[in-house]
Amino acid sequence: MSQPARPVSSEPLSYKAAGVDIDAGDALVERIKPLARRTMREGVLNGIGGFGALFEVPKRYREPVLVSGTDGVGTKLRMAFALNRHDTVGIDLVAMSVNDILVQGAEPLFFLDYFACGRLDVDTAARVVGGIAAGCEQAGCALIGGETAEMPDMYPDGEYDLAGFAVGAVEKSAIIDGRSIVPGDVVIGLASSGVHSNGYSLVRRVIERACGGLDSPALQQDLDGRTLADAVMAPTRIYVKPVLAVLAEMPIKGIAHITGGGLVENVPRVLPESCQAVLEQSAWQRSALFDWLQREGSIDPAEMHRVFNCGIGLVLVVEPARAQACIERLRALGESAQRIGTIVPRPPGAAPTVVI
């Protein structure tokens, strides 16, 4: 049996009526232009607004090798939505990519971002991009382009997704790949600012169990001088400038960015097959946040080291004779750095990294 025809409206349709506000997108571009201008550096040939961003590799490079990285912020965004904290997730976005390319000795040159939402809230988007610009300033790279995608019915109101893309350069002869690491070398740890941007699916489950949900007043409880909410939303630390400063003065054999997989799965990525990193947990102090997560979630210590950075956001491997000088220089540059372990011969069948 045929269905009756639906009445056809005579009202004219528009893109705005369909859910996409071009004027709002234009307004956002104007809001973020001054933010992007603050990040400009040598090599930038055009700014935001063109179809493609132009960048010239600085002429001081003799044999430049480009190093690229991309990442997002993960489910930390759900915390940002619930707590209305949109100012620092952009720093997280930049940090995840620039720290990744730093491990090969690369200087971040420029950054692109992708912001997707169902309905564009210009104020919220500007706060997010403000964080991206702040992260780029911390990393010394230029924010030279990006994309804002308004896609009705794809995301609930008030929610968005982020992706970031960093490109850097390193001299071909100075690429850090870990191949020169040998037993006896020293492992140096640089303190994290907190959980950074990995493991938040577990963080949220612990909060739901311990506090009753992300909207609970319990997130305002004191945790070593700051609220639990402030602790879990602390932006990822960007290590670019201090590590590049050290690299200009002394060689570093290997660098690992401690992201998803924690210490036990990220440190092995820079080790030769014949080497094992033995890390001593007593060598560094975890923040109160990690103690709270482990206690309230009844999380096994091995699981903690597989999921979280546990207080160490970046690991450097250096030869013993340079270890103390490296630590002292990093501390002078504002980093909390300490010797956290040693490289030893790897026993047959043993894990490449152990925490004792």
Is the confidence at residue 218, as pLDDT, over 80? yes
Identify the top-confidence range among 49-53, 89-93, 222-226: 89-93
Flag whether pLDDT at 33 surpasses 90: no
Q: Write down the pLDDT at residue 1.
A: 54
- Summarised one tens digit per residue, pLDDT across range 77-123 is 999 999 999 999 999 999 999 999 999 999 999 999 999 999 999 99
Q: Note whether 193 and 236 are within 8 A (CB).
A: yes
Which of 31-35, 48-52, 128-132, 211-215 is least confident?
A: 48-52
pLDDT of 157 higher than 60: yes
- Kindly tell me if the per-residue pLDDT of 345 is higher than 80: yes
Whether the CB-CB separation of 168 and 70 falls below 8 Å is answered with no
Q: What is the C-alpha separation between 245 and 102, in angstroms, rounded?
A: 12
Residue 281's pLDDT is 92
Cβ 231 vs Cβ 223: under 8 Å: yes
pLDDT tier for residue 7 given thresholds of 50, 70 and 90: low
The strand pairing partners of 168, in sequence order, are 67, 108
The pLDDT value recorded for residue 220 is 93
Pairing of strands 142-150, 64-71: unpaired
pLDDT score recorded for residue 9: 60
Least confident interval from 40-44, 58-62, 139-143, 227-231: 40-44
Q: Give the pLDDT confidence of 286-340 residue by residue, as tens digits.
A: 999 999 999 999 999 999 999 999 999 999 999 999 999 999 999 999 999 999 9
Paired with 279 in beta bridges are 341, 355
pLDDT for res 224: 84
Asked if the model's pLDDT at residue 50 lies above 80, the reply is no
Q: Is the pLDDT of residue 252 over 60?
A: yes
Give the mean model confidence (pLDDT) for residues 201-227.
92
In the predicted structure, residue 216 carries a pLDDT above the cut 60: yes
pLDDT for 37: 85
pLDDT at 199: 94
Q: Does residue 16 have a pLDDT over 80?
A: no
What percent of the chain is modeled with pLDDT above 70? 95
pLDDT, residue 177, reads: 94
pLDDT tens, residue by residue, 270-291: 999 999 999 999 999 899 999 9
pLDDT classification of 15: cutoffs 50, 70, 90: low
**What's the rounded mean pLDDT across residues 207-217?**
92
State yes or no: pLDDT of 71 exceeds 60.
yes
Mean per-residue pLDDT of the chain: 92
The label of the residue with tokens 């094992």 reads 276
User: What span, in angstroms and rounded, lies between the C-alpha atoms of 221 and 46?
Assistant: 47
Of the ranges 32-46, 134-148, 151-165, 238-252, which one carries the lowest mean pLDDT score? Answer: 32-46
Overall average pLDDT of the 12-31 stretch: 74
Q: How confident is the model at residue 10 (pLDDT cuts 50, 70, 90)?
A: low
Distance CA 194, CA 310 (A): 8
Average pLDDT over every residue of 38-49: 82
pLDDT of residue 2: 59
